Homo-oligomer: A and B are copies of this chain.
Amino acid sequence: MATMKDVAKLAEVGVGTVSRVINNSTGVKPATRERVEAAIRELGYVRDEYARGLKTNSSQTVALILPTIWNPFFAEFAYFVEQALYQRQYKLLLCNSSGDYEKEYQYIQMVTQNKVDGIIGITYSAIDQYVSSKLPFVSIDRYFTEDISYVTSENFAGGKLAAQQLLDHGARHLAYISGYSKYKNETTRRRDGFNSLLMQRGIEADEIFVPEPVTGLPKLVDGLLKRRPDLDGIFCVNDLMLLQVKEILNQRQISVPDDIQMIGYDGFNLTDDQPLGVSTIKQPVAEMAQAAVKILFQKIKNPDSPSEIEVLPVSYREGWTTKAK
C-alpha cells in the first residue's frame, strides 16, 4: 500500500506538503496541489483514518444533540453548526435525542472513546449527571453549572420586547402561551421578561403555562378566551406554538391580527431565503451556532480552559400577525 512518502517522492515535494494538501491547509500553490493530487490518484493512496485516530487522538468529528432535527428552528441551527465545523475541517454527527438521556449519554461515551471530539447540546433531559467540566461540551439555552459553557440569547430582554411591541401595536389585554420542560432552561425567562415589563405598566397578563408535552391546547385556548373575552394580544414561547394557536383561533372565527395580534419567538426561516412571515422575536441563530463552535474548539484544544458564557442579543421582526402601526 502506498504511503505518504511514496506520494511525496512521485510529486517531487516534501512530506509536509503532501500533508497540507491532504488536510486542505493553506499555503500550497495550485500547481503543486494538482501535482500532489495526481500522485495520490496514480498511487491510489488512502489515508487510514483509524491509524490517524490512534496517532492524533482526534476524530475530527463533533456531535450535535438536538431534541429533533424535525423542527425548523433546530434545522436552521444545525445548518450553521455544520457550516462552522466544515470551515474547521470537522464533520457533524447528528443526534435526535427526543429528550432521551440514554441516547445523549451514548455520545458522551463516544467522547471518552475518542470517536467524537466534542458535543454541542440542546438537551432537555436528565443528562446533567453525565456532564462535567472536563467534557468538551457546550450547552445551548440551558444552564448546568458554572463550569459548563453555554450559549443562549437574551431571553428575558426578548420577553420584554414582545410585551413592548404588543403594547406599541395597540394591544392592551395580553396573554402568554407556553409549555415548560421539567428541566429548567432559558426559555422560561421569556415569560419572566414579558411579565416584568407588563407589571411595570400595571398590566396583568393572563397565561397558558403547562408542562410539556402540551396536550389539549384547543381546550386551554377556549378557557383563556372565556376568562378574557377582551383578549387582543398573545405572546407565544415560539413560532411553532404561535402557528398552532393561530389555527385554533381561526377555527373559532377569530382573525389574526384583526381581532388578536400575535408575536412568536425564534424568528426561524423555512429555508435560507424563505422567512416564515410571522411577527416574532428573532434569535441570532447563525451567531449562536458560530459562538458554540468557537467555544467548543477552545475546550477541545485545551481541556483546562475555563467555561464561557455567551448571551447574544435578540430583535423584533415584523410580520403579518400584528397590525400595521
Q: A residues near B, CB below 8 A?
A: 46-51, 53-54, 61, 64, 68-72, 74-76, 78-79, 82-83, 86, 91-96, 103, 109-110, 112-115, 240, 243-244, 247, 269-272, 274, 277
Q: Determine if A47 and B243 form an interchain contact, defined as CB atoms under 8 angstroms apart.
A: no
Q: Determine if A82 and B53 form an interchain contact, defined as CB atoms under 8 angstroms apart.
A: no
Of chain B, the residue at the smallest CB distance from A55 is: B50
> Closest CB-CB distance, A201 to chain B, in whole Å?
33
Of chain B, the residue at the smallest CB distance from A85 is: B94
**Closest 4 pairs between A and B when the two form their complex, measured CB to CB:** A75-B75, A70-B79, A49-B115, A50-B53
Of chain B, the residue at the smallest CB distance from A64 is: B94
Identical copies in the complex: 2
Q: Determine if B46 and A50 form an interchain contact, defined as CB atoms under 8 angstroms apart.
A: no
Q: Determine if A270 and B49 form an interchain contact, defined as CB atoms under 8 angstroms apart.
A: no
Q: 10 more A-B contacts (CB under 8 A) besides A78-B94, A91-B110, A243-B274?
A: A50-B115, A53-B53, A68-B272, A69-B79, A70-B76, A70-B78, A83-B96, A91-B93, A92-B94, A92-B95
State which of B70, B114, B247, B272 has its C-beta within 8 Å of the C-beta of A271. Answer: B70
| A114 with B49, Cβ < 8 A, contacts A244-B274, A270-B240 known | yes
> Hey, which chain B residues are within 8 Å of A269, CB to CB?
70
Q: Determine if B72 and A68 form an interchain contact, defined as CB atoms under 8 angstroms apart.
A: no
> Hey, which chain B residues are within 8 Å of A247, CB to CB?
277
Q: Write 12 A-B pairs (CB below 8 A) sorted by A numbering.
A: A46-B112, A46-B113, A49-B114, A50-B115, A54-B54, A72-B72, A72-B75, A91-B93, A91-B95, A93-B93, A94-B94, A243-B270
